[in-house]
Structure 1
Amino acid sequence: MTIAIIIIAIIALPFIIALFVPKQYTVERSVVINKPVHTVFEYMKLVNNQQYYNKWVMKDPNKKIVNTGIDGTLGFIQSWNGNSQAGEGEQEITGVTQNERITIEIRFVRPFKSTAHIYIITQPVTEHSTKTTWGMSGKSKYPLNLMSAIMTGPLGKDMETSLAMLKKNLEG
């Protein structure tokens, strides 16, 4: 009887914790790139360039990609279908403010359905350097909000890795 209670408590604990974890999440990282804001913005607004710096996009180089519209412009959609790591989904450019901000909505289908919002902000630091901020926000339903809370750390680390690759590509 005691073992059964302990097992039930262990199973119930994550569900109880998830009741107190926020359903919304935001992860944001920044890097200074030694290039003018126009150069950084023009590179980052092209979704197809993510294959050269975005750690998540690079997980499956053999995934099937379909582009709809003109890359770097409002309404451009890139859909993908790849292995278990890359999953399946699409991303759509939902806003472009020249040399300042790009917003993208990502709609995941697999490994699980969810929607996230990406923003990329470019700000001049000097004439020849740009602060680039990459952020991601979303909302997770109970009890998946517990998983989102746990994943924000690794998600931030992946963003840092991606921004370091971006910096290397643009400066090198």
Structure 2
Amino acid sequence: MKTFLKIIGIILFFIVVYGIVAMLAFGKTYHYEKAIVINAPKEKVWQQISSMKAFNEWNPWMKLDPTMKINYTGNSGQVGDKYCWDSKNDDAGAGCQEIKELVTNEKQKTEMTFMRPFEGQATSDIILTTEGNSTKVTWSMDTEQETWMKLMRPMMDYQMGKSYGEGLDNLKKLSEK
């Protein structure tokens, strides 16, 4: 029994130490990005990112709830193009994403507002650069994190990597058709 209690004590000690280190070491801002090279010209890839409806054709979070309610507003493919989602599933939650900047064949910048399961805001950029006959797509997200969310950063990095990887793979398949 003493050995068991020592093991539990050591585990708790490391959890507390990790929590303190995470809160002190990780900054308030969170940045994540992932890139892929697509065997298609920028103009063809641009068609898949230039509007919220096109984005949602490869958006990995859309599959989290097939019954999710989606509402599009604004002019498709222009600044102000926006969609809001509402899901009964907390994995998908509820929120809105709006195009804030478009540079034809080069950049899409959006702002996301999350309402559920956590409230928050983030910005996302999709940057296209030519690489020979191909296009490099860099997808990034920036947000500020509450102190307690810093504890989740390694798990968030893992989940973001998985989701962004799936989304970029979907984009690659669509663009290379």
Q: Classify the TM-score, shorter chain.
A: 0.7 to 0.9
d(CA) in 1 for partners of 2:69, 2:18: 36
Q: Does 1:86 align with 2:92?
A: yes
What corresponds to 1:100 in structure 2?
A: 106
Alpha-carbon offset, residue 26 of structure 1: 1.1
- Segments of 5+ residues of structure 2 without an aligned counterpart are none
- Relative to structure 1, is the Cα distance of residues 125 and 8 closer, same or farther in structure 2, using a 3 angstrom cutoff? closer
Q: 1:8 to 1:29 in 2, by over 3 A?
A: closer
Residues 109 and 120 (structure 1), Cα distance of their counterparts in 2 relative to 1, 3 Å cut: same
Q: How far apart are the structure 1 equivalents of 2:110 and 2:154? A: 22
Correspondences of 1:12-23 after superposition (within 5 Å) = 12-13=16-17, 15-17=19-21, 18-23=23-28
The 1:8–1:28 alpha-carbon spacing in structure 2 relative to 1, beyond 3 Å, is: closer
Shift of 1:119: 0.2
Paired position in structure 2 for 1:133:
138
Q: Partner of 1:58 in structure 2?
A: 63
| Aligned-partner residue type, residue 124 of structure 2 | I
Aligned to 1:35: 40
Deviation by residue 1:131-156 (Cα, 9 ceiling, x = unmatched): 11111111101111222343112202
Single out whichever of 53-62 and 9-18 deviates more from structure 2: 9-18
Aligned to 1:117: 123
Structure 1: 5+ residue runs without aligned partners? none
Looking at structure 1, the residues matched to 51 and 98 of structure 2 have their Cα atoms a distance apart, in angstroms, of 11
Helix, strand or coil: the match of 1:73?
coil
CA distance in 2, matches of 1:55, 1:98: 23
Q: Which residue of 2 aligns with 1:155?
A: 160
Identity %: 34
Give me the CA root mean square deviation: 2.2
Q: TM-score, normalised by structure 2?
A: 0.85
Decide whether aligned partners of structure 1 residues 49 and 58 sit closer, same or farther in structure 2, where only a CA change above 3 A counts.
farther
Kindly indicate whether residue 31 of structure 2 is the aligned counterpart of residue 26 of structure 1: yes
Task: For 2:40 and 2:28, locate their aligned partners in 1 and report how far apart those are by CA, in whole Å.
Answer: 37
Is the contact made by 1:123 and 1:132 (CA closer than 8 Å) also made in structure 2?
Answer: yes
Q: In structure 1, give the amino acid aligned to 2:103.
A: T
